[in-house]
Structure 1
Amino acid sequence: MLKKTIILNLIIILFVSCSPKTLTGLYRTNFSTYGRFGKALTLRCDSTFVIDSNREFKNISSYGNWEVKNRLLVVNFRTVKYPKIEDDQTNYYHIKRNKLTSVFPISKEEYLDLITKIEENGLKDSLKIGSYRKFKRKRGKTFKNFQGKMGKQFFKKVENIECED
C-alpha cells in the first residue's frame, strides 16, 4: 500500500512538473540598449500587457493585448498612456522556456520591395544594403554600448504571476 502511494505521488509530481509553464509574469530585457535603456514587459492574466521603457530620460508605458498563436506570443499595442506617441503596432515573440525573442517577420519579397523603394528615393548610395541572408542573420540585434558592441536582445522572465481559474 505504501509503495503504491509513493508511486502515485511520483506520477502526479511528474505530470505537474511537465505541464506547460504559464506565460504570465514580469519579463526584463537581458541587457539595456546602449547600456542605459532597458525594458520591462508584464503579461497579465486577463491577456493585457504593459511594456515600461526608458526613452531619453522619460519612462514610457505602452499598453495592449496579447495572445499565443503557433508558439508565438502576439503583442498588439492598441492603447497608449501618452496619446502623442503613436505605438499602434503588433510585435511577435518566439516563446522558448522563460525567454521571449523578438521575431521580425519579413519575407524575401517584402525585403526586395523595400530595396526597390530605397532605390526609387535615391537613398541606395548613402545606405549599405546587404543581402537578404545577411539581413536575416543580423535582425534582432541592438547596441549593447556606445562602442558599437551588438547583441541579440530578448525578454527573460524574472517573476511569475499566478492566475486564478
Structure 2
Amino acid sequence: MATAFIKGRNLIIRHGDEEDHVDVVVKPANAEDGLKLLQHLYWLNSTALAGLGIDIDKLSESADEIMQMAFGRNPEAWDTVQSLRDEESRVTYISALMWNAKGGSTRLVAQFLEDEDYPKALLELFDLSGLTAFGQSQTLPSGELARPTPTEDIPATFTRRRS
C-alpha cells in the first residue's frame, strides 16, 4: 500500500504503514519532472484508482489512458471540469482528483478548492502547461497514444522513517 502527501514543495510517497514504512521524497525541478511525479503518484495510489473505478491491473503505462479511463468512469468529474471557466480552476480540480487518496470524491475535491493554500501549493509545484497536457489527448502520427517517460527516471531520494 502506498499513500502520498505534500510536504513543503515536495511530494512524499509512503510505502508501508505508519509503524514501518519507506518514504520516497520527490523534488520536481521543472514541469516535466512534475508530470512524471503525477504519473508516479497515480500509479502508486491504488486507493485513488479504486475510487475512480479503475482496475489497476489493466492499466497501461499511458498517462492519457489513465485520464481517459478516470473521466470515462466518472462522468460527474468530467462535467465539473468542463464547467470550470478558468484554466487554473480546471488544473486545480484535476490535480485534486489525482491527489485525493479517497478516490477523488466531489465533496472532498470541493474542500480542496476552498483551501487557498492547497491550489497555490500545487500551482507553484507544477507548471500549468505540464498539468494541462497531462489531461489532454496526445497521439502519435501512427495513431498510438503517446507513452510517458518511465517512472524510474523521476529524481527522488529514499529515506526510511519509523514512528
Q: Please tell me the TM-score bracket, short chain as reference.
A: under 0.3
**Which structure shows the bigger proportion of residues in helix conformation?**
2
Higher relative contact order (CA 8 A, sep 6+): 2
Task: Provide TM-score, normalisation by structure 1.
Answer: 0.23
- More strand by proportion, 1 or 2? 1
| TM-score normalized by the length of structure 2 | 0.23
Larger Rg: 1
